[in-house]
Amino acid sequence: MVEFGLLLHTRHLIRDGQAADFSSVWRQAEHAEKAGYDHIWLGDSVTVLERARGDCLTLMSALAMATEKIRVGTVPLLMSLRHPVTLAHALATIDVISNGRLVIGASAGPVAPYMARQFEACGVPAKEKAGRLGETIELVRRLWTETRVTFKGKYFSLNEAGILPKPLQQPLPILVATGSKPPETTLRRVAKLGDGAITTAETPEIFAEWSATVDRYATEYGRKAGSAKLLFASFRIGADGARAREEGWAWMESFFRRSRQDLQGTFTPVFGTAAECAALLRRYAEAGMTGIIARIASDDEAGQAELLVRELKPALK
């Protein structure tokens, strides 16, 4: 069966100068667990005020305490923003707190001016973010499994460094996220570094090509092909398909404060009737999709989240 994950809305909670209040996030997480979701996800940003969020590492720890069984993750976790030793320590601790329920969707982040400014603000040259990601993933994995680590790379150098606690999961999964049509260098990074992959592929055909390319490169690197492959998409279900599509796009424009034209090609919409959405997702599953991360394009997040699990999940058995 295809796994279902839910992205928890947090960006709107603290923008426009309003006082921070994350109580609704705990309710979203509890509802997702009761509804039957397999995992919940947060976004990651630090200094981008128009995309302001609470710190994802802190929130994941709190979500681990607010839930019992559902897996907790961040997508995309901008690992290169953080030093690998402190990041490995924090993630291992969260995995222990969650009793082995942590999952990571890592990325170097998009090539965009706002992203470059964020990395520079955190002391990381934007041109180094992709290279640092590779060393960071290598180092956190070693720190999670080895007693002491000695390492000298292009960006980091460690001498007999170790962390405790170790994560409960061995291995703790790191998926690597990409856009819909990433360059070859990104696909090779996914194949070389990831325990799985996440994409915003706009069509099942693009997904199939993306999946086959990742598998081919993984084989070249001597790694196992056919690992977890998740689709990150936006959902709006309604009895009237045309109305659901219009309302879904209207919500996206309002939430992201960007025009529909600007949003198209950036987000994968799954808008329509339950039957239409199920038919589309079956094509993705046939193309190799093993899981979904769903952004709900509606203010009725709880109602739409229940519809997804009730109407779509059984259709993908």
DSSP-derived secondary structure for 46-61: SS-GGG----HHHHHH
pLDDT digits (tens, 9 = 90+) for 102-130: 999 999 988 889 889 999 999 999 999 99
Cβ neighbours of residue 276 closer than 8 Å, sequence gap 6 or more:
241
Share above pLDDT 90 across residues of the chain, in percent, rounded to a whole number: 82
pLDDT in tens, 146-155: 999 999 999 9
Q: What are phi and psi of 112, to 5 degrees?
A: -155, 150
Domains (ranges, CATH) in the chain? 206-317 (3.20.20.30)
Buried b (16+ CB within 10 A) or exposed e, 189-205: bbbbbbbbbbbbbbebe
Q: How far is CA 69 from CA 23, 31, 34, 54, 191, in A?
A: 20, 12, 10, 23, 29
The two three-digit tokens of residue 308, written as one number: 């997804």
Q: What is the mean pLDDT of the chain?
A: 93
Residue whose C-alpha is closest to residue 268's, from 310, 133, 287: 287
CB 168 within 8 A of CB 142: no
Angstrom distance (rounded) from CA 148 to CA 133: 21
The band of 238, judged by pLDDT with boundaries at 50, 70 and 90, is: very high
Binned at pLDDT 50, 70 and 90, residue 13 comes out as: low
DSSP 188: H
Give dist(CA 85, CA 64) in Å, integer.
22
Dist. CA 272–CA 277, nearest whole Å:
6
Q: What is the pLDDT of residue 15?
A: 60
| Cβ atoms 217, 191 nearer than 8 A | yes
For 241, how many CA atoms within 13 A lie in the half-sphere containing its CB? 10
pTM of the full predicted structure?
A: 0.94
Instruction: List phi, psi (to 5°) of 102.
Output: -80, 140
Residue 250 has pLDDT above 90, yes or no: yes
Helix spans in the chain (H): 23-35, 56-66, 84-97, 113-121, 129-145, 184-193, 204-220, 241-256, 260-263, 274-286, 301-307
Residue 311, amino acid: E
